[in-house]
Amino acid sequence: MARVVVDVMLKPEILDPQGKAVQGALPRLGFEGISDVRQGKRFELEVGEVTEARLAEVRTIAETLLSNPVIEDFEVHVEENAQ
């Protein structure tokens, strides 16, 4: 059993109010030195075996179901040390 991870983040030019809310809270809570925060989604997909065809399928899933390509970018990578 292998794990494929899909990270979905808003494109850099899209405003991220959730991230900005976290960023705004940090100095009030005494944390300095964090200049920007962006919040996105992480999907962990369990697959039987990692093949090129399976990864292509996951990329299609990421593009059509897990992200909105108008405003979001995604990255697919295989997690080596899956439990």
The residues that touch a second copy, with contacts defined as CB under 8 A, are 1, 7-9, 19, 22, 25-26, 29, 31, 33-48, 54, 57-58, 60-61, 64-66
Q: How far is CA 36 from CA 14, 22, 29, 41, in A?
A: 14, 9, 15, 17
**Cβ count within 10 A of residue 64:** 10
- CA 66 – CA 4 distance, rounded (Å): 13
Query: Which residue, 58 or 70, is less far from a second copy as judged by CB?
Result: 58
To a second copy, the closest distance from the beta carbon of 68 in angstroms equals 14
Query: Which residue, 70 or 77, is less far from a second copy as judged by CB?
Result: 77
Residue with tokens 């697919």: 76
To a second copy, the closest distance from the beta carbon of 9 in angstroms equals 7
